[in-house]
Amino acid sequence: MNKIEHLGIAVKDLAASEQIFTDLLGAAPYKREEVPSEHVITSFFMIGESKIELLQATSEASAIHGFIEKKGEGIHHIAFAVDNLEAEIERLTSLGYRMIHEKPKEGADGKMIAFMHPSGTNKVLVELCADKA
Q: Which of 1-5, 47-51, 124-128 has the highest mean pLDDT?
A: 124-128
pLDDT, tens digit, for every residue of 107-118? Answer: 999 999 999 999
Domain harbouring 43, CATH code: 3.10.180.10
pTM: 0.92
Position 78 pLDDT exceeds 90: yes
- Strand runs labelled E in the chain: 3-11, 31-35, 40-47, 50-57, 74-81, 105-106, 111-116, 126-131
Specify the number of domains making up the chain.
1
pLDDT above 90 covers what percent of the chain? Answer: 95
Distance between CA 29 and CA 21 in Å, rounded?
A: 8
Q: For residue 103, what are the domain limits?
A: 3-131
